[in-house]
Amino acid sequence: MIMRITTTLLMLALLILGIVSWVDYEYWLMAPSPSHYTWWWPEEMSTLGQRSDNLFWLILVMVTVMFAITMGALILSIWKFSAKREDKAVFTHGSHKLELLWTAIPAALLLVIAFSQMSTFAAMQFDSSMQDEDGHDLPVLCEIWGSQFDWRFRYPGKDGRFGTNDDFESVYELVMPLRDTEKDHDKKKVIFLLRSRDVLHSFFVPHLRFKRDAVPGMTQRIWMAVDDKQLAEIMGGREDKTFDIICAELCGWGHYKMSGRVRVLPDAEYEAWVDEMTALQFGNS
Amino acid sequence: MSDTHASNPRPGMGEAGTTRTSHEHHELGFIRKYIFSTDHKVIGTQFMLLGLVFFVLGGLFAMAIRYQLAWPWESMPVIGDLLFPNTGQAITPEFYTMLFTMHGTIMIFFVIIPLLTGAFGNFLIPLMIGAPDMALPKLNMFGFWAMIPAVFCVLMSFHQPGGGPAAGWTAYPTLSTIESAAPGSVSAQTWWLLALTWVGVSSMMGAVNYVTTIVKMRAPGMTLFRMPLSVWALWIAAMLQLFALPVLTAAGLMQVADRVLYTGFFTPTNLVINQLNPEGAGAAAGGQPLLWQHLFWFYSHPAVYIMIVPAMGMASDILSVHARKPIFGYKPMVYSMSSIAGLGFIVWGHHMFAAGMNPALGMTFMVATMMIALPSAVKVFNWLGTLWGARIQLTTPMLFILGFIAMFIIGGLSGIWMAATPVDIYIHDTYIIVAHFHYVVFGGSVFAIFAAIYHWFPKIFGRVMNETLGKIHFVGSFIFTNGVFYMMHQLGMAGLMRRTADPYDYETYAHLQPLNVFITISAFCLFVWQVFFVWNFFHSMFWGKRVSRNPWNACSLEWEAPSPPGHGNFDRPLRVHRGPYEYASPDVEEDFFAQTREVESK
Amino acid sequence: MATQRLMCLRPLAQCNPLVLSGMLVGVFASCDYDPGHVDPAFSLSESTMTSLDEVGLASSSPQVSGALTTLFGTPQDPHFLITTEMLDGDENPNLSGDYEISEEQWEVIVTDNRSRRFLRQLDLIKAGRFAAVPEPLYAEDLWAIWTSDFAPLHTGEPAEVGGTAVKVDPASAFDDEDLWVPGLPEDGATWAEAAELLFTNWYPSLRESAEMYRVQCLHCHGVEGGGDGPTAEFLEPRPRDYRLGKFKWIAVDNGKRPRRQDLVDILMHGSYTTAMPSFARFSSGQLHGLVDYVRLLAMRGETEARLVLEMADSDSGDLPLGTIESNYTDVWTNWRDADENYVAADVTVPRWDQMSVAEQMTRGEHGRELFMGILANCFSCHGADGRGADAPNLPISLAEVVDADEHEIDPEYEARGGYRWVEKVDAAGRTMKDEDGHALRDLYRIKPDDWGNPSVPRNFTRSIFRGGSRPIDLYRRIKYGITGTIMPAAEVSISDADIWDLVIYVRILANSHDLARVREHKQAALADRHAAEHEHSDSDDSSNANSGDGGQDTDNNHNEASDH
């Protein structure tokens, strides 16, 4: 009897933990937050982030329901059928109908998930090779170089071409312009080249829901875009309008040191920043 | 426990005590009998002891990792003085990379796989199919002894200049191939690769043996669909090993070649790593680091199933025995395990969604990954179906299996996020992943292993483990396992990356330390709680209660043999008449209908 | 039977529940465990011990370490000793200029602090969420002030947030107000203003910087800054040994002590492709604090070396107080006056970005002549193609030929690339061969720099410049050399204009091998070919650029480099 109660309670506790922690997250997980950051993900501020977050929520709902059903059934059968009794258990070897049912329903759900994510993934991966109206590749803002153990961002400078004398380098801080183009999200896209000097790194910006390995020997064309509304809403009131870049792939003993920040500037301020960096490039300090 | 010692109703089968009624064999010396034994039971036990010893080592590594994450750069107790005299006993970052690398390696290659396929595969297969021994006993012995060089190599890898391997258990190039890239890549990585190769050799010998034995050595009447699910699961796992291992071995040797012969399979041109230019140092270049990832995951994803499918099989067996009810949907179980194995070969790319792989491939892998969730779901539903209407005996093995099911549900469900590519981009390599695979591998496989040890201990040693201690062991383990791994979901949601020695410098992570302290304390408790198990195991080995052949009143063949079975396993000829799960059968008076029992009309 | 023998353990076995419960209680009791760390301690360097040993004064080493402890303290309590001379002259060994010093706490200096890190705290203070202000890293003092003097704020006591503050208890933290918070709010300032100032103007004490050093730097740079931490042996190049007082990436004259700003710059930017990362994630106050501590370590090391010399020179092996003090004063004078050696502060950097290509090429060509010329003599180390140590034929001025049979090869130096086999070349540039057709080779030992590392000349074609790639950085490297290495300061006879031409040439070398540029050229060439082949082109190539094999084309530029 003790074991019956204990086991049931244990399982019940797990069920409650599971449900509460995800469903009631706003109170439970965001409450202990000391600052802007919580036990939930950082606020999303990319044009695509909302879509992947929604996908997360969709899966969360499905998963929570499935969890509740299966754990509920488990708890119920533990409680109900572990009582001492003299008769035999039900003698059955299964049921084809049930098997079909519980194969078909999850299959349907999984297919829903599978198809609902395709367009988002496609946008994430393929849009970096988008072209403008004239059929040219979109211009590259900067090269992102991972090396043991920092991030360096090489900008082509005023002439927009790499390998010229006005290239300049920014360590630690990736500055990107916020293209203010009303509702046209495509025009907000900023293209980068992602590279590694030595070993695998992974360029991870939690706020933008972006992550991609920097593979040595490979140049990857990637894009990120910031939603200006989200940015204003989240960063507007802050002194520090930058957010973290994190290395997400083991790159050696100093992996944990490999940090950076993203700063998003309105177009005009971005141009001013480029001027400033160019002046610094040819400065004598 | 009352039914544990219920007298066996079968005449001539229930003598307490175990006189070894084996055939007239010449007595073997101690060495031939216990060390270089060809007896599958002894080999199984050897694998089990090896696995448990390494379990402690891997666990200690985990504790050190947790210590650093809770209190970064503070003095390590005990080992601090020994290992870090120059830093005020605080851990060094390269030591930390070694810790998680070797924790993963040891737990996967020296604990879970040897315990599941090595120990239980060896012990159960012949007994469950009614064979006197493995088809190839000598090969079986070599299979275990191939683990010894593996152990030697892995221990050697700790003693290399630069310390142990530090490129992660996935050993991604170029971190692992270029000597200057990481301290552990100087020479330890080569030993690590050799260790892996030897483990592969061992697994390969085992796998060949299991497949042969299952195909050729079944007792009369033991058709394929009368085999217990454990045997099916081990068979499927063996097939997985047969097809996947060659790829890992080849990839491992390619990496060895890159490291030792300066080939350039995985090294692209024009790198400068820690001042070393591989081409300048005479190495070939022009390779592709992603090639390793493909090859590695082509093995290691099936390896994930090697680590869970046998656990599923044993869980089904134990569940059915202690629920006193036939397994629900025997054939769907078999089919779902087979399809897990089949699909398991075409989903490896889901480890690489963020790796710069061709995105078109990503789509394919995503759909395949979604589909592989299906058979797992079917299995869970079938276990629940088994429990429904059962007469559940809350014995220790049963408790662990219930824990297994609950945690497998969590681990399985959280996997769906990982299959959804856009979501995976965010959670890839975060602690959600860590939580997910620990729920599957610790909450799943290890709990099933505990259950299996409690369940088959009477058969292995002829004595039963203490039930009270077992139950205490379960309750604590269950609480602390969830204490450790559940909160990792939250760490992952907050974006915390794996393998960061000191995450709190990041603004995004600075507030996560209290959560990590909680997890660490849970982990320490979990570790210490295993004292109950270790105690129980060794104590019961010598002083546990002796039991009859069939203490659990189970139907399958292994319980027809004496406990422990003598050489040749069975003291009588066997004939199988029915499936292994005829509990609560209305055809007989007792609530179990053994596989060998002659048909009697009621 | 072994089993029988084990039976004697049975009584022990029976008390197991008690034993086990005891253990578990112990585990739970330790739940509020909060470990500290064992504090590291300074020790004397190896070279000190050997040189003392040589003169038979090994037993006097406590005298040196005692003197050093008096002068610089311990890692837990670091300080600079204030000598009478300093007090009289009002001089701070940490800083030049007019800073008042107090006797007790004069390691505390206040600099202009544009904090990055603490912006988080400021955000919350401005939003009035005082209770949510998180504890900053490595800022115990700051946190202590915040939790004690501002307690009413973060416990929510003041009725209205932002209301006029009762002045913070002046008796405790703001006693030394000049030291801690230079712009202490006037009476009547609000709490929020006071709190803001606290987090804006905070500057770490040496003790806090030492703690930060322990966590962030020690595992490479070592307790004493000797570049010998546990991680150091795996790194190439080795972490800097501060104890020589020499630093490479500086803007002062060759051999001089670095300015504070030089060290801050290295902390901010890291040193590219070495294991020294950027530490820009910390507030500039914290970085300046780290620099304070690094300077202390460097001064300590230099003083140590000088004291050992003095000791060896004296007959008795005694260190008189005056000797200690004068050496100490010498050392810190050098450091304090570093700013005076600041060079090239007023040169005008040519704006090549506004120069025509033709002019750039002309000047670059002139730079090339200088590069190959005997006066500047760059090619003799960096090679004619600018590939430095990566060139197949090692420039001879860099290394000396050693006889492989007789010369004792230092395995450690060898492991670090200190030796290299080079094929012999005859006058016509052909490889020389022996009778069997094997190439003749010489073993070279690359000359070590002041820290004992092989001096590896930069490969310009990789476009990696550790001390910064800006023109002014290259100018300083050429004009003033690199301290501690065989890279010399330029001859006086080379004019500034010539040096700039050299800089332009080096940049051209770097740029012309630039991966992105090569790729661009290739794509342009490819596009031309496609155009020539009559609209065969479609989207096939562009999708490749995304990933997969897209990178391979960037990898061959090295071969092109050697072609030219």
Chain A CA closest to residue B494: A41
Which residue of A163, A167, A173 is in closest CB contact with C280?
A: A173
Which residue of A137, A159, A164 is in closest CB contact with C511?
A: A164
The two tokens of residue C159 are 């009725």
- For residues B280 and C132, what is the distance between their CA atoms, to the nearest angstrom? 54
Upper half-sphere CA count for residue B261 (Cβ side, 13 Å): 9
The per-residue pLDDT for B299 is: 94
Please report residues of C whose CB lies closer than 8 A to that of A263.
none
- For residues A190 and A139, what is the distance between their CA atoms, to the nearest angstrom? 8
Residue B83 is which amino acid? L
A31 in Cβ contact with A102 (< 8 Å): no
The two tokens of residue C167 are 């002045």
- How buried is B541 (Cβ within 10 angstroms: 0-12 exposed, 13-18 middle, 19+ buried)? middle
Task: Give the 3-state secondary structure of residue A263.
Answer: strand
- For residues A162 and A109, what is the distance between their CA atoms, to the nearest angstrom? 48
Paired strand residues for C76:
none
Domain range list for chain C: 38-113+203-343, 119-202, 396-456
Chain C CA closest to residue B468: C17
The shares of helix, strand and coil residues in chain C, as percent rounded to the nearest 5, are: 50, 5, 45
Q: Do A81 and B373 touch (CB under 8 A)?
A: no
Helices (H), chain A: 2-23, 25-28, 49-81, 96-126, 228-235, 267-281
The per-residue pLDDT for C515 is: 63
The two tokens of residue B590 are 């007792």
- For residues B79 and C91, what is the distance between their CA atoms, to the nearest angstrom? 46
Q: Do C281 and A283 touch (CB under 8 A)?
A: no
Q: Do A52 and B422 touch (CB under 8 A)?
A: yes
The per-residue pLDDT for C142 is: 83
**Degrees to nearest 5, angle at CA A92 with A87 and A95:** 150
The per-residue pLDDT for B18 is: 39
Q: ω before B289 within 30° of 0 (cis)? A: no
Please report residues of A whose CB lies closer than 8 A to that of C471.
281-282
β-strand pairing of A259-266 with A173-178: parallel
**pLDDT below 70 — which residues of chain C?**
1-34, 84-117, 152, 154-189, 392-397, 514-521, 534-564
- Mutation target for A interface from C283, C353, C476, C509: give the one with most A CBs within 10 A: C353
- For residues B36 and A38, what is the distance between their CA atoms, to the nearest angstrom? 57
In the stretch 49-78 of chain A, residues with CB closer than 8 A to chain B read 51-52, 55-56, 59, 62-63, 66-67, 70-71, 73-74, 77-78
Q: pLDDT of A157-172, one tens digit each?
A: 888 888 888 889 999 9
Helix or strand holding residue A145 (H, E): strand A140-147
Q: Who's near B387: CB < 8 A, 6+ residues apart?
A: A73, A74, A77, A78, A81, B319, B323, B325
- For residues B317 and B337, what is the distance between their CA atoms, to the nearest angstrom? 14
B551 in Cβ contact with B17 (< 8 Å): no
The two tokens of residue B571 are 């003291």
C232 min Cα distance to partner chain A (Å)? 11
pLDDT of residue A270 exceeding 90, the answer is: yes
Q: Between B and C, how many residue pairs show a Cβ–Cβ distance under 8 A?
A: 128
Which chains does C contact via 3+ CB–CB distances below 8 A?
A, B
Q: Do A243 and B178 touch (CB under 8 A)?
A: no
Chain B CA closest to residue C18: B532
What is the spatial order of strands in the sheet that A242-247 belongs to? A173-178, A259-266, A242-247, A201-205, A210-214
- For residues B379 and B411, what is the distance between their CA atoms, to the nearest angstrom? 14
Rg for chain C (alpha carbons), in Å? 31
Which chains does B contact via 3+ CB–CB distances below 8 A?
A, C
**Degrees to nearest 5, angle at CA C505 with C248 and C484:** 15
Q: ω before B174 within 30° of 0 (cis)? A: yes
**pLDDT below 70 — which residues of chain B?**
1-28, 600-602
Domain range list for chain B: 40-560
- For residues C305 and B468, what is the distance between their CA atoms, to the nearest angstrom? 68
Q: Who's near A97: CB < 8 A, 6+ residues apart?
A: none
- For residues A110 and C260, what is the distance between their CA atoms, to the nearest angstrom? 60
The per-residue pLDDT for B43 is: 94
Residue C317 is which amino acid? G
Q: Do B506 and A259 touch (CB under 8 A)?
A: yes
**Degrees to nearest 5, angle at CA A144 with A139 and A147:** 160
Please report residues of C whose CB lies closer than 8 A to that of A215.
551
Chain B CA closest to residue C40: B88
Length of chain A: 285
Q: Do B75 and C556 touch (CB under 8 A)?
A: no
Q: Who's near C158: CB < 8 A, 6+ residues apart?
A: C152, C165, C191
Which residue of C23, C33, C557 is in closest CB contact with B528?
A: C23
Residue C127 is which amino acid? A
- Nearest CA to C70 out of C324, C245, C291, C305 is that of C324
- The hierarchical CATH code for the domain B40-560 is 1.20.210.10
Mean pLDDT of A133-137: 78
Q: Which bin fits A209, alpha (ψ -120 to 50), beta or left (φ > 0)?
A: left
B465 min Cα distance to partner chain A (Å)? 17
Q: Do B535 and C456 touch (CB under 8 A)?
A: no
The per-residue pLDDT for C87 is: 64
Which residue of B90, B274, B539 is in closest CB contact with C37?
A: B90
Q: Do A166 and C360 touch (CB under 8 A)?
A: no
A266 min Cα distance to partner chain B (Å)? 23
- Model ipTM? 0.93
Length of chain C: 564
Helix or strand holding residue A195 (H, E): strand A190-196
Residue C23 DSSP symbol: H
| CB proximity A211 to C under 8 Å | no
Paired strand residues for A213:
A202
What is the spatial order of strands in the sheet that C441-446 belongs to? C399-402, C441-446, C419-423
- For residues C205 and C286, what is the distance between their CA atoms, to the nearest angstrom? 9
The two tokens of residue B121 are 């595969």
CA dihedral (B28, B32, B34, B38) in degrees, to 10, reads: -100
The two tokens of residue B223 are 């058709």
- How buried is C189 (Cβ within 10 angstroms: 0-12 exposed, 13-18 middle, 19+ buried)? middle
B543 in Cβ contact with C16 (< 8 Å): no
Length of chain B: 602
- For residues B218 and C140, what is the distance between their CA atoms, to the nearest angstrom? 71
Which chains does A contact via 3+ CB–CB distances below 8 A?
B, C
- How buried is C562 (Cβ within 10 angstroms: 0-12 exposed, 13-18 middle, 19+ buried)? exposed
Which residue of A148, A157, A165 is in closest CB contact with C275?
A: A148
Which residue of B97, B392, B490 is in closest CB contact with A253?
A: B97
- For residues C502 and C507, what is the distance between their CA atoms, to the nearest angstrom? 9
